[in-house]
Chain A
Amino acid sequence: MKTHVPAVDGLFTMDPPEPRLLGTRCRGCGTYFFPAERTFCRNPDCDEDALEEVHLSRTGTLWSYTSANYQPPAPFVAKDPFEPFAIAAVELEAEGITILGQVADGVGVEALEAGMPMELVLRELYQDEEHVYFTWNWKPTDGAVGGA
């Protein structure tokens, strides 16, 4: 049995079915960072260096979307044969931050529409002898229908 691990550490929790992206929040001004900023607050008017680890919201609204119809180059590890995928930019309301991610398997651009609710899921990216490597994906929230 292969071990399930994130493709890159420290970006999200491995909690199917409810994974969370890992960010930080500045204790001084309240601004958020993803990927996590752990050294300084990047707000130019804030001198705080106390940044707390936070789990970001799992849901947001679709800001925009596109597709990758051709295989991206390395260091992406593509499926063989390559399957085109959709990519979403999702706005998290509480954090005021927009985050990119592939759209879950089987959901193409025709099913997407700006403004629709989206949620975070995990998906296998690639495998080796011992591990299955995961990343995050966005998926229309159950029941959401787009593509007018």
Chain B
Amino acid sequence: MSKDVAVLGVGMHPWGKWGQSFVRYGVKAAQDALRDAGLRWRDIQFVAGGDTIRNGYPGFVAGATFAQALGWSGAKVSSSYGACATGAQAISVARAHILAGLCDVALVIGADAAPKGFFAPTGGKRPDDPDWLRFHIQGITNPTYFGLYARRRMAVHGATQRDFAAVKVKNAKHGLHNPNARYRKEVPLEEVLSSALVADPLHLLDICATSDGGAALVLSSMDFARKHTTDPVKIAAVSTVTPVYPNTIIEMPNLATDSKTGVGLPELGFKESIAHDAYEEAALGPKDMSLAEVYDLSTALELDWYEQIGLCPPGDAEKLLRDGETTIGGRIPVNPSGGLASFGEAVPAQAIAQVCELTWQLRGQAEGRQVEGAKAGVTVNQGLFGHGSSVICTV
């Protein structure tokens, strides 16, 4: 049985700091996705919402919140959360319903209205919650982890702060013509290097901001799609893997890794396993990909992803970047959308936005940033507390 589902429609609310409700961003994105699919809200049988945890109760039941805002229609609903991987959770639920024959057509929506500055844990004293504990007892924020990985990359692979800054320069260029990007301005290397040091060796412009934004997809069975369109973009795989014990690389929000003592190490590390699972499911490999959208929470993390999704062997990411292979026009453009560097992070919308970009690219509609002849693309992302997220789209 084919595991393909069709992407009939995509839509986004531009990223920014708009000071409005996340519901508004999600509904706008959903309306655009419906229009793009040539369908009406009443046609949708299932709504999969990606939750936001910073917008009160409506955010915890995002699926129903969006359904009510669009007008109660009796559609079935789900709401899921997986931190930065929330969007992949929502896509996965919608896709599973379609593949199981429980519905023909589904709407996936994620949106966020984000706070300014550092993400902080939710309130109350909770020593058993690793997210609370790391802030309270050691002052460890999200950029702490980005800084640790970046310094490790410098020690092991000889990366430099200039290499990291070059990722920002590339992504800023890619994002220039993306109407949904928040930052649309070229950033010279020196500007990154002279921005404030936040988490050594990373500067302010190496680290992504937090943004408001919304993204939505209309997904359907291939049978349903054939009645509405020809040659739709397809989702060929969705990976939502968790780590395999022991996870020996320190990971947000933990204060410690698992122990290597007394147990065998898994074949693949967690981050390496995320896209690997999607490649296996799609029966495709990194060489089949025309582009990738990776989660550049920091510039240095983008370089780690090159290796973790198999674009090059460990230690070669800097060379791949310097050779222009990951720039539009190169062998495997990475983050042609502009990435988080141009968007900032709107947590529950981000993994959905990655699929919007793949869809526009595979349709040849990514004006000003088109990867010529794109046939297949991969997204990858990771949510704290062990949420893998990777989607492969083909045409």
The residues of A with any CB-CB pair to B shorter than 8 Å are 7-9, 11, 26, 29-35, 42-46, 63-70, 72-78, 85-87, 89, 94-102, 109, 113-115, 125, 135
Q: Which of A8, A30, A100 contacts B136 (CB 8 A)?
A: A8
Q: Across the interface, which residues of B come within 8 angstroms of A64, CB to CB?
A: 148-149, 151-152, 155
The contact sample of 7 A-B pairs, CB cut-off 8 A, is A68-B139, A68-B144, A70-B118, A76-B135, A97-B260, A114-B156, A125-B137
Q: Across the interface, which residues of B come within 8 angstroms of A35, CB to CB?
A: 130, 133, 255-256
Tell me how many residues of B have a C-beta within 8 Å of chain A: 50
- Contacts A8-B127, A30-B261, A69-B200; A89 near B117 (Cβ below 8 A): no
Q: Across the interface, which residues of A come within 8 angstroms of B196, CB to CB?
A: 69
- B151 in contact with A114 (CB, 8 Å): yes
Q: Which residue of chain A has its CB nearest to the CB of B197?
A: A69
- Contacts A94-B261, A98-B250; A65 near B151 (Cβ below 8 A): yes
Q: Does B101 contact A (CB under 8 A)?
A: no
- A66 in contact with B199 (CB, 8 Å): yes
CB contact list, B105-121 vs A, under 8 A: 117-118, 120-121
CB contact list, B88-130 vs A, under 8 A: 117-118, 120-121, 125, 127, 130
* Chain A interface mostly: loop
Q: Does B245 contact A (CB under 8 A)?
A: yes
A70 to B141, CA, bound (A): 10
- A101 in contact with B138 (CB, 8 Å): yes
- Contacts A64-B151, A76-B135; A97 near B120 (Cβ below 8 A): no
Question: Chain A CB within 10 Å — which of B132, B137, B197 has the most?
Answer: B137
Q: How far is the CB of B299 from chain A (nearest CB, A)?
A: 14
Q: How far is the CB of A34 from chain B (nearest CB, A)?
A: 5
Q: Across the interface, which residues of B come within 8 angstroms of A114, CB to CB?
A: 151-152, 155-156
- Contacts A66-B151, A69-B197, A89-B148; A30 near B139 (Cβ below 8 A): no
Q: Across the interface, which residues of B come within 8 angstroms of A45, CB to CB?
A: 263
A125 to B135, CA, bound (A): 12
- Contacts A43-B262, A97-B259; A63 near B138 (Cβ below 8 A): no
A26 to B130, CA, bound (A): 21
Q: How far is the CB of A102 from chain B (nearest CB, A)?
A: 5
A133 to B132, CA, bound (A): 17
Q: Which of A34, A70, A135 contacts B256 (CB 8 A)?
A: A34
Q: Does B36 contact A (CB under 8 A)?
A: no
- A87 in contact with B255 (CB, 8 Å): no
A115 to B244, CA, bound (A): 26
A66 to B250, CA, bound (A): 13
- B250 in contact with A100 (CB, 8 Å): yes
A96 to B262, CA, bound (A): 9
Q: Does B246 contact A (CB under 8 A)?
A: yes
- B133 in contact with A66 (CB, 8 Å): no
Q: How far is the CB of B18 from chain A (nearest CB, A)?
A: 23
Q: Across the interface, which residues of B come within 8 angstroms of A9, CB to CB?
A: 127
A38 to B394, CA, bound (A): 47
- A135 in contact with B137 (CB, 8 Å): yes
- A31 in contact with B120 (CB, 8 Å): no
- A66 in contact with B255 (CB, 8 Å): no
A50 to B198, CA, bound (A): 43
- B152 in contact with A63 (CB, 8 Å): yes
- B125 in contact with A75 (CB, 8 Å): yes
A28 to B201, CA, bound (A): 41
A98 to B250, CA, bound (A): 7
- A31 in contact with B151 (CB, 8 Å): no
A105 to B269, CA, bound (A): 34
Q: Which of B127, B149, B255, B258 contacts A100 (CB 8 A)?
A: B255
- A69 in contact with B258 (CB, 8 Å): no
Q: Does B73 contact A (CB under 8 A)?
A: no
Q: Across the interface, which residues of A come within 8 angstroms of B121, CB to CB?
A: 75
- A7 in contact with B255 (CB, 8 Å): no
Q: Across the interface, which residues of A come within 8 angstroms of B156, CB to CB?
A: 114
Q: Which of A87, A94, A115 contacts B144 (CB 8 A)?
A: A87
Q: Across the interface, which residues of B come within 8 angstroms of A115, CB to CB?
A: 155
A33 to B257, CA, bound (A): 9
Q: Which of A26, A67, A109, A135 contacts B138 (CB 8 A)?
A: A135
Q: Across the interface, which residues of B come within 8 angstroms of A46, CB to CB?
A: 263
Q: How far is the CB of B23 from chain A (nearest CB, A)?
A: 26
